[in-house]
A = this chain, B = another copy of it.
Amino acid sequence: MNQKGPLADVLRQSIIDGDFAPGSRLSEAALAEQFDVSRNTLREAFRVLAEQGLVEHIPHRGVSVASPTIADVIDIYRARRVIECAALRQSEPEHPAVQRMRDALAEAEEQLPQENWRRIGSANMAFHDAIVALADSARLARTYRDVAAELRLVFLEIDEPRSLHEPYVRRNRAVLTTLLDKGPDAAADELERYLTASERSVLGAFARMGHA
C-alpha cells in the first residue's frame, strides 16, 4: 500500500474505518512494511495520532489503537455537550452551516428505510459536525473532530447499529426544527437531551457487553 497524502491521515482513516480493532497493537515493523514506509516516518505519524487521542503510546511498549473505557465515553459526551450546545446556542440563523445540517439530515432520513446504518452513521456525524461549525472556531472544531473520532471507535466496538442510530435521526430532526422554529436556546436544550439520551444508550450497550 502506498496511498498519497500525509501518512498520519492515511493511518487515521484506516483506524476510523475499523481496519485495526480498538485496543490492537500497532507493530512498527509490521505497519512500516504494510504502508511501505520506514520506521522513522511511521513513528512520526504515530506521534500525531497519539496527540489526537486515536492511539495510545506507552514508552517501550509501543502504540495501540485507543480502546475507550466507560470513563472515556462519559468524558467524550461531556466535551460534546459543552462544545455542541455552545455552538448551537450562540448560532446565527443565517449561518451557512445550517444548510449543511439540513443536507446531512436529509441524507440520513433518505437512508433510513433501507437501514443503511453505515451511511446513516456518517450523515449523523456530518450533522453534528455542522453544528460545531456554527461556532466558527477552528480550535473547538479540532477538538470536536478528535472527540468524534474516539467515539467512532466506541461504535466500532459496540456494533449494534440499529439501536445506536435509528432513534437519533428523529432527534436530530427535532434539533433542527426547534432551531428554525424556536431559536438557538430551545434547540440547544433539545440537543442536550439528544446527547444525554445517546450517552445513556452507548453506556448501556457497553454495560451489556461487560466492558470495562
Binding site for B on A (CB under 8 A): 8, 40, 43-45, 47-48, 50-53, 75-76, 78-79, 82-83, 86-87, 135-140, 143, 146-147
Q: Which of B44, B50, B82, B135 contacts A43 (CB 8 A)?
A: B44
Q: In the complex, A53→B52 CA distance in Å? A: 12
Closest 7 A/B residue pairs (Cβ) = A51-B51, A82-B86, A47-B47, A143-B143, A79-B139, A78-B137, A40-B40
Contacting pair A137 B75 (CB below 8 A): yes
Partner of A78, one of B75, B76, B79, B135: B135
A75 interface neighbour in B47, B53, B139, Cβ under 8 Å: B139
Please, which residues of chain B bring their CB within 8 A of the CB of A8?
47
CB closest chain-B residue, reference A140: B79
Closest Cβ neighbor of A146 among chain B residues:
B139
Whether the Cβ atoms of B47 and A82 lie closer than 8 Å is: no
Contacts of A50 in B (CB 8 A): 48
Smallest CB separation, A163 vs chain B (Å): 25
Known: A44-B43, A47-B47, A86-B82. A139 touches B135 (CB 8 A): no
The reply to whether B47 and A138 form a contact with Cβ atoms under 8 Å apart is no
Task: Output the least CB separation between A18 and chain B (Å).
Answer: 22
The complex places the Cα of A82 from the Cα of B135 at a distance, in Å, of: 10
In the complex, how many angstroms separate the beta carbon of A121 from the nearest chain B beta carbon? 21
Nearest residue (CB) in B for A49 is B51
Q: How far is the CB of A142 from chain B (nearest CB, A)?
A: 8
Nearest neighbor of A52 in chain B, beta-carbon distance: B51
Q: How far is the CB of A204 from chain B (nearest CB, A)?
A: 21
